[in-house]
Amino acid sequence: RGAGWRAAGAGDGARRGPPQALAMDSRPLFQTLHALAEDNATFFRDSPTETGQRFVAAFTTIQEHARSLEPLLSHFATVYHIFDLDEYTPANGYRSLAQTVRCCLAHIVHKSRYVAANRSSIFFRGKHNCAELEAYCTALTQLRGLVYLAQRLLTHNRPGCLFHHEEGGLSEEFLREYTSMHKGCFYGRCMGFQYAPSIRPFLQTIAISLISFGENYKRHDSGLGVAAGSLFTSGKFAIDPELRGTEFERITQNLDVHFWKTFWNLTEMELLASLASMTSSQVRVSRALLVPPESFELPLAADPNLSVTITPPVAHSGPGAVQMRLISYELREGQDSEELASLVRPEGTLALELHWKTKPLPRSPCLVVHIHGGGFVAQTSKSHEPYLKAWAQELDAPILSIDYSLAPEAPFPRALEECFYAYCWALKNCHLLGSTAERVCLAGDSAGGNLCFTVSMRAAAFGIKMPDGIMAAYPVTLMQALASPSRLLTLLDPLLPLSVLCKCLSAYAGLDPDQIEDSTLEKLSPMNMVKRDTSLFFRDLRLSASSFLSSLLENTSKVDGAGGADESIRKSISEAALKSKPSPNSRESRKSQTCHNLSCTGETSPLDQRSPSSPSWHRKSSFFLNEGKQDDTSSSREDTTSNKGRGLTFPDGFEPLRSDQPAPRLHVELSPIFKNPFMSPLLAPDAMLKGLPPVHIVACALDPVLDDSVMFARRLRALGQPVTLRVVQDLPHGFLSLSQLSRETRQASALCTELIHDILRSQEEAPQPPPTPAGSLRKHRKLERTWNAAPTAAQDNSTQTGLEGQGGAPGGSTGPTGSAIKAAPGAPAGGSSAAGQPSGASPPSDPAITTSQDTSTSGGTVGRGVGA
């Protein structure tokens, strides 16, 4: 269907031929669409039925959008190569947006062909097919609006720059316009249309689970009550896509970061974690560690006879222990020591660590230090353990995953301090981890990728041993509220909506107003969940039974059913929910509204009151907003309406569909903390970036943070730093956590494993392989891998890659504070004495990088075929 057409398009040029093939001609697609739409519209124009007229309206609207989109996509195809890393890495937000539009058109073509072939059959389901077509027509309407916004960015941005570099002005207008657009159409029948077909059922399951969880979250707070209620309410969202889309949009815009933290942490539950552990690869060692906050000495990389003091993390909450997890496929020397056993912390999950007696293997020369993702606010190494176990088996090296403290309780820089302390502790105590740490790789995904970069920059500032390389999967490198074409995709991304992304970043910056706890708000910890679950569950059963009996008695006492069955029969759930006019009281009484802007200045939307029949409503609603923050509903809607008139003007009289949910006011006046180079590595000074080791980035073509990876790679390339950028197709943000779901995610995860393997490969074991022809396949542990030939010519980096006003600490502020350099009393033990790179010096290019990877003067590659 759409994926098959897309495989022959812009996402496949590196596999099929030279980069020029990426500038493909979209005219055949539009010609086919116009012919099918005209034929179907002519057929149904004579139909007297309502369904027939709906078909005519849908096909007419599709033709109108197609006529406007065709010249825009043709124009994009002529300029978006300017924003690529190089000619062999065709990836940026403009390409991704054009690919998404073509995918939507391909789905419409497929549905139009089906209608044309079966419209005369007595078995043709007219209403169902019309609803499907209308859903994609609505999605195409919103995509057209995104293309216009991208065109505006293309006009105002500097050549080669993907982010709008000026705060205020266009960026503020842009975000206001963007957040008011309707989003529910992308979460109903069109859920995940842009991704691989094998991913879409999982995304639908996630959406239904999230909506059901949100429906009962406010009512039960947490625990078994939520699970029981969600189980009974999930059915209506499974059978009614329109209602699912509406509820998904409401939840993503209104609920605060605590809700997302609780929902994402469902994978930490004992039952789910045990099931994931049993279905993943089995390892000999999987132990949770608790390292006490003690200072220690590390030798300097430039002079091992000198040492620097590493102090424990102290930000916000004072010195505290750091949690980690050691994973090893084989039992190695040191991992069975009493010293390591004293650091093991008990766990409640049913860990499948193999304990049979065996002779430990020698220490591995390699060590992987992993930092997990989760938006800085959720998840631990337990959530990422399934693919980490597979990595441990494939790499045959110990993996130390860091469980850093999460926001909003522990905002920046607590996570950075803990990750840096854990990295230094691993170098100092590598003999306990079953490694000599001769080769060290930092690996992380999403937020963990950001921390990998900042930990390396801090290691360079301290002058200690640097990692031999960084593997970052879909990292976030710019924490500012700057618009970019790839971030437009947050409008339709079910895993990373814009409001959720903003709440997570604000929580990490310590600017989230919801982190100020109300005195009536009980902290949602696992222990509190367990204590309240049983009582809440039986209380709900008792109240439900009482309500049922009361309703039964009232209905039997009514005469002629007056006022009792006005809407007892409905054609569908969504018909009553979507077609009826939403009154202010009825809509706002269902859910409280919580919206705040990127600067987290406390801008909120109205919080209406529930009916008097809910006695404890005010106590529960304080979880979302305090009573003092309530606003008037009508004034909020008037502001939203007036903002539309003051927003950007679309050409040809076009106007995208607007959301009926109060839009958060996303201002661009942000705290200077977002410009800190240890928070936004993209804004770091050149001197700090030159100290980074070789960087290998794996990005997703349809990821809203794709532009973060592209611009960061371009900055490193301009500085002469070794960097590669691999782009996988048709997969969402966070594919590593989905690595066991489909062939595409397994191949993408194997690509990350291959990059880590190249970093860990020593010089003696890394002979330069011959160039691999483009499109050829290479076996790696029973998984196929696609590589591309390396470029032979240097790329012209004439375009400016930095951002104006690259803020952050001055050069003198990047050094360590409070650290003392001392003369080492003796040679350091273990792997701590391995030679590193001096602070601020450009590291030499890694000889383990194959010809399909990049050096300081050659182009990168694209991991094509993965997920296509």
Strand-pair category, 469-473 with 723-728 = unpaired
Whole-number Å distance between alpha carbons of 430 and 438:
10
pLDDT at site 601: 35
Output the pLDDT for position 405. Answer: 96
- Give the model's pLDDT for residue 722: 96
Contact status, residue 184 vs residue 249, Cβ threshold 8 Å: yes
Q: What are phi and psi of 458, to 5 degrees?
A: -70, -35
Q: How high is the pLDDT of residue 58?
A: 96
Contact 606, 638 (CB under 8 A): no
At 173, list the tokens.
């207008």
In Å, how far from its chain's centre is CA 277?
23
Tokens representing residue 668 in the block: 């661009």
Query: pTM of the full predicted structure?
Result: 0.75
Please give the pLDDT value at position 232: 56
Among candidate residues 356, 351, 353, the one with its CA nearest the CA of residue 328: 353
Beta carbons of 664 and 253 less than 8 angstroms apart: yes
Q: Which pLDDT belongs to residue 454?
A: 98
Q: In this structure, what token pair is assigned to residue 755?
A: 């990059």
As a whole number of angstroms, the distance between CA 683 and CA 609 comes to 44
Q: Catalytic one among 384, 696, 733, 757?
A: 733
Cβ proximity of 730 and 92 under 8 Å: no
DSSP string, 678-703: TT-GGGS-HHHHTT---EEEEEETT-
Task: Enter the tokens of residue 451.
Answer: 């921390």
Exposure class string for 341-364: b at 16+ Cβ within 10 A, else e: eebeeeeebebeeeeeeeeebebb
User: What is the secondary structure of 84-113 as a DSSP string?
Assistant: SSSTT----HHHHHHHHHHHHHHHHHHHHH
18 CA to centre of own chain = 31
Please pick, among 514, 703, 846, 854, the residue that the annotation labels catalytic: 703
Task: Determine the Cα angle at 41 with ends 35 and 44, to 5°.
Answer: 140
Q: Which two tokens stand for residue 794?
A: 């240097």
Pairing label, strands 322-328, 723-728: unpaired
- In 449-493, beta strands by DSSP E: 469-473
Q: What pLDDT does 190 receive?
A: 95
* Catalytic residue list contains 703: yes
Number of neighbours of residue 557 by Cβ within 10 angstroms: 7
Q: Give dist(CA 411, CA 505) in Å, integer.
A: 10
DSSP lists the bridge partners of residue 369 as: 400, 442
pLDDT attached to residue 359: 87
Determine whether 12 is exposed, middle or buried from the number of CB atoms within 10 Å of its CB (0-12, 13-18, 19+). Answer: buried
- Grouping H, G, I as helix, E, B as strand and the rest as coil, residue 297 is strand
Residue type, 784: E
Question: Taking the alpha carbons of 494, 497, 503, 504 in that order, is the dihedral positive or negative?
Answer: positive
Q: List, as one string, the DSSP characters of 1-61.
A: -HHHHHHTTGGGHHHHS-GGGGS---HHHHHHHHHHHHHHHHHHHT--SHHHHHHHHHHHH
Query: Could you give the CA distance from residue 324 to residue 400 in angstroms, rounded to a whole number?
Result: 7
pLDDT at 224: 52
Contact yes or no for 727/124 (Cβ under 8 A): no
Place of tokens 């010089």: 763
Residue 357 is predicted with a pLDDT of 61
Catalytic, 446? Answer yes
Q: Is 702 exposed, middle or buried (0-12, 13-18, 19+ CB in 10 A)?
A: buried
Q: Alpha helix (H) ranges present in 240-324?
A: 241-254, 257-264, 270-279
Please tell me the predicted confidence (pLDDT) of residue 355. 54
> Which stretches does DSSP call E strand in 261-390?
285-291, 296-299, 306-310, 322-328, 364-371
pLDDT value of position 256: 82
Element containing residue 505 per DSSP (H, E): helix 498-508
Contacts of 808 (CB under 8 A, 6+ apart): 675, 676, 677, 680, 683, 684, 685
pLDDT along the chain (868 residues), means of 10: 36 37 72 96 93 96 96 92 93 96 97 96 94 96 95 88 74 76 93 94 90 72 54 74 90 84 81 66 91 96 95 94 96 94 78 62 96 95 92 96 95 96 98 96 97 98 97 95 89 90 89 46 44 51 54 46 36 37 36 32 33 33 32 41 54 88 60 91 96 97 96 97 96 92 93 96 48 37 34 38 40 41 42 39 36 38 33
Distance of CA 260 to the CA centre of its chain: 13
Apex 311 CA angle, 343 and 509, nearest 5: 95
Amino acid residing at 475: P
List CB contacts of 862: < 8 A, sequence separation 6 or more.
Answer: 14, 88, 89, 90, 91, 725, 726, 727, 788
- Among the listed residues 446, 574, 605, 680, the single catalytic one is 446
Edge-to-edge strand list for the sheet holding 723-728: 285-291, 322-328, 399-403, 364-371, 435-445, 469-473, 695-700, 723-728
